[in-house]
Every structure is written in C-alpha cells, then in structure tokens.
Amino acid sequence: TRGVAFLDCPISGTSGMVARGDGIIFVGGDRAVYERWRPLLETILPRAVHVGRAGQAMVLKLVANLLVALNSAAAAEALAMVERAGLDVPLALDLLTSSAASSRMLEVRGPLIVKRDFPPQMKLDLFMKDLHLIQEAAGAVGAAVPLTDVAERLYAAAQAAGHGGEDLAVVVTALARR
C-alpha cells in the first residue's frame, strides 16, 4: 500500500445545483493528501472542503441528505395544508420562500409540489437507499432519528404507489391520501 492514499469525496447538491457549480464536495481523509488534490477537486466544483478523516465526508453527506429528506417532506406537508385550506398555493409558496420559513428545499422542490410535476432531480428510488443508509449510520453512532423514521414511511408510501422514478418531492402524494 506504499504510495497509496484515499479520500472520500461525496458531492452535496441537486443535479441542477451541481450543474451550476453550486454543489459542495465533502472530503474525508488525510489533510496533506487533500491539500495535494484540492486543485483537481476544485476543477470539479469550486467548493471542496476537508471535513475530517476518511469516511467522515460520507457521514456528512448522509446528514445533508437527512436534512433534504426532512425539509422536502416538511415543504410537501406545508403546501398540502395550504392547498387544503383553499389558499392560493403559488402565492403562498412565493411568500413562504421570502419568509423566515424558507429553506433550500422549499425553494427547489416547492414549485414541483405546486405543479404536481416531479421530473427527477433526485429519484425517489435512489433516495430511499440514502434514507436507509442514514438510518443505519445513525444506529451505528447511537443517534436517534425519529423524524427521519417518520419521513421514511411517507417516502416509502409514495414509492409503493409507483412513484419511485420521480423526484422525491412526490412525497406530497403520500400526504394527499391521508
């Protein structure tokens, strides 16, 4: 193994964010190796950040996806409530994204939820794998993730209804049936 080094370098961001150069590369591994390869990594995305030892970048990526799952489900739940209350949904989305309630997922997935059109930026089938990895990683480090467990059931219901090839914003369909 002499002369061999390893960095784990998962990317965080939707496909659109990455295409615009707005994604982030989380880098785990020896800092000297990171510094050596940083210029190359920054040709992929301008922000490549060393987060710790090998393996820790993947943990941070799972934590980022945990927040994506919860924020996307929360956006779907909020907009479903707006719709059921008879409010102007596009107006409410505009106001919410300009308020203290805004989140990146409300901005990214809110329009998909409003239009009920879910072209995949992150396919639900693939995201379910990430949710299960999040639950496994949480168990391995002894972290409780009760909100993730609830969200996973909602995403699983949307997947079971045949929406696995659509964007994870399709979780709103599981809420609409409740």
Supply the residues annotated as catalytic: 61
CA 117/CA 80 separation, integer angstroms: 14
Nearest to 145, CA basis, from 131, 164, 156, 162: 131
CA 43/CA 126 separation, integer angstroms: 26
In this structure, what DSSP letter does residue 167 have? B
In this structure, what DSSP letter does residue 161 have? I
- Which token pair is 158? 């949307």
Nearest to 177, CA basis, from 101, 162, 106, 167: 162
Residue type, 35: E
Q: Which residues make Cβ contacts (< 8 Å) with residue 33, sequence separation at least 6?
A: 5, 6, 7
